[in-house]
Structure 1
């Protein structure tokens, strides 16, 4: 996270933030006590999606480094961070003018912190190849960084997560391979940092010493690996997962919530980014549910019809003809003459069959990830994947009253646990929807 690689002008930040879509659509916070359950409902239903939309807009303009503007002290949007100018929607969203002012202040505060860290990283002329003769310098640098983080975060809730991140950035700055850097930091800390508790001087010294002693001259970045095809990696992972073992409540009956979670999230999140984007997605959502009611088969042609509305293009978007990239170029999805046919074959497995009666949550998650990693369109694949998930549920009469865990979480193509995590997220929302529906009917 080198700020020198990302230009940022503080003087123009207020103007830039005010020009972004979410700045023109700040939600109105209800005039009720913070402890009122209605405030929590507003925060999750309107405040949080708006803040997510602002993060996306900032990242599109400045780069991914900017999303840290919400990493608040203590129990804010994201626990244990260095930012004091933002807490959470229920506290930080007030009038539009005040709210945008807080966003700007938090963004600048986060940037200043990153620049301070970069200066501390370079406080000593370190060289990984000379680490055996520089142990004391590596130890001093690590100790200083721990103390800086404890001072900045106040050692509140989950402060140690940011401390781990800062130490990992430090090692990476001086050439330690990023994956190894994280392991070395975890081993040095050894789970001894705790929320709401500042480490005593002896513990700080011990962690810094262990970290310095663990670094070796050969810990540098590994030779570049051949370019991976993450679509092929996903297909391998897909076959390795025991989808049939995913827990399912076994009820099998339709779920009709009092609140349309998908539509409400689109209005709150996408509507904050761009009303036209939200309208296109809402139109596609109506088509999804109509197709599900008819029992349509999920395939690229169906995705294409929905995506035509999502993107608002004159012609239906075609299947991509070149390799695709995602996650800042970290994942590459190959292309071949049979890629579309392979996608259709995978999506066909979203239908429940007597031969292989997989749980609904597993089939919905798998279909969504199929769309993510086949990446069939030049734009809007995350929205297409979300619609595929909604379709698989709707085809069996299931809708959710919340989708916050399903839309703005990134999943890796080559991580089996990520796929299982998505099934758990669907199950969490489904269980919550059942509870809420039952409580309204009682």
Structure 2
């Protein structure tokens, strides 16, 4: 008698294994981007991705986004307690904490394990978002992927990752006005894909600075003409 297939491998362990070895791209932009942070890009993203089918959910996530911007402008440190406060608003719950069971995503094809030190490890990763060892797009990409692959909450982790990205960029005085290009599947064992996120963020930051520099407001026609350009993404492995 043969046994069935075992549980999926621990994708969080995969991410933690490749995370220190990723070849993050360099960036020729400034450490911060001048001009007021653009809020409409994230607002438009959350409104569009909910598809108008969940008015209450859209209102909650936009309220959380307002808190994100306010917290960033006040220079609050990024930690789990701050994220949990945003997530309570997103989910409409009185209490939200770090998950207590293994988590799954992508139809069960990725499993994120849980060990006694997982929460503390996540907090340490969040604290690295202020370290100057990497340029801004790489730090932003890394913390965005940290949230996706630690999957800290029972629900709403994709929204949590995007809110965390909005927080980090705003705290750094940076701006992206187009968020939708970031919406694609990311895999925990794909080091090249992680570097691609940083490359894409650098492109979006540069494009926003060009369009939304001090005293400039683009017309709708200009925004359409100046869609950000990225280098070709690395080939992706076929997933089952």
Q: Same fold (TM over 0.5)?
A: yes
Q: Which residue of 2 aligns with 1:428?
A: 203
Report which of the two structures shows the higher radius of gyration computed on alpha carbons: 1
TM-score normalised per structure 1:
0.46
* Alpha-carbon shift at residue 250 of structure 1 (Å): 2.7
Whether contact under 8 Å (2:169, 2:175) holds in the other structure is yes
* Alpha-carbon shift at residue 398 of structure 1 (Å): 1.2
* Alpha-carbon shift at residue 255 of structure 1 (Å): 3.7
- Is 1:332 paired with 2:111? yes
- Is 1:249 paired with 2:29? yes
Q: State the alpha-carbon separation in 2 of the partners of residues 430 and 413 from structure 1.
A: 24
Indicate the structure with greater helix content.
Answer: 1
Q: Which residue of 2 aligns with 1:67?
A: none
- Is 1:269 paired with 2:45? no
CA RMSD of aligned residues (A): 2.2
- Is 1:231 paired with 2:12? yes
Q: Which residue of 1 aligns with 2:127?
A: 348
Q: Which runs of 5+ in 1 are unaligned?
A: 1-222
Q: State the alpha-carbon separation in 1 of the partners of residues 101 and 48 from structure 2.
A: 34
Count of aligned pairs: 214
- Is 1:413 paired with 2:196? no
For residues 263-303 of structure 1, give each alpha carbon's deviation from its aligned partner in whole angstroms, at most 9, with x where no partner exists: 12222332513111111111111111111112111111111
Q: Which runs of 5+ in 2 are unaligned?
A: 219-240
Greater RCO (Cα-Cα under 8 Å, separation 6 or more): 2
Structure 1, 228-237 or 427-436: larger mean CA deviation: 427-436
For residues 205-254 of structure 1, give each alpha carbon's deviation from its aligned partner in whole angstroms, at most 9, with x where no partner exists: xxxxxxxxxxxxxxxxxx957741110100011011133x4324136343
Q: Which residue of 1 aligns with 2:63?
A: 283
Whether contact under 8 Å (1:257, 1:437) holds in the other structure is no
Q: State the alpha-carbon separation in 2 of the partners of residues 258 and 322 from structure 1.
A: 37
Q: In the superposition, relative to structure 1, how do residues 369 and 377 fare at CA in structure 2: closer, same or farther (>3 Å)? A: same
TM-score normalised per structure 2:
0.82
Whether contact under 8 Å (1:248, 1:360) holds in the other structure is no
* Alpha-carbon shift at residue 258 of structure 1 (Å): 6.3
Q: In the superposition, relative to structure 1, how do residues 231 and 275 fare at CA in structure 2: closer, same or farther (>3 Å)? A: same
* Alpha-carbon shift at residue 316 of structure 1 (Å): 2.3
